[in-house]
Amino acid sequence: MPGMIRRARNFLRTLIRREHWWAEAWSGLMLASFGAVSLMARPEHLHALPSTRW
């Protein structure tokens, strides 16, 4: 079992060093989730909080 974990960690470390797919996937996921939340938000929830009003 420890050998499998070590191999998996080394594999992930190699991927992260050499590839940019994880950064692309992360930014795509964040953009998609922000878009979904923006589409589902009701207008009354988009007002400024009292502490941010002048």
Q: Where are the domains of the chain?
A: 20-47
Give 1-54 pLDDT, tens digit per residue. Answer: 678 888 888 888 887 777 677 777 888 899 999 989 888 877 777 666 666 555
- What's the pLDDT score for residue 54? 56
User: Tokens for 14?
Assistant: 């190699």
- pTM, rounded to two decimals: 0.44
Q: How far is CA 1 from CA 6, 13, 14, 33, 47, in A?
A: 9, 18, 20, 36, 53
Res 53: pLDDT: 54
Residues 6+ apart with CB under 8 A from 15: 21, 22
16 in Cβ contact with 22 (< 8 Å) = yes
Quote the DSSP letter at residue 54: -
Residue 32 confidence (pLDDT): 94
User: What is residue 29's predicted lDDT score, i.e. its pLDDT?
Assistant: 92
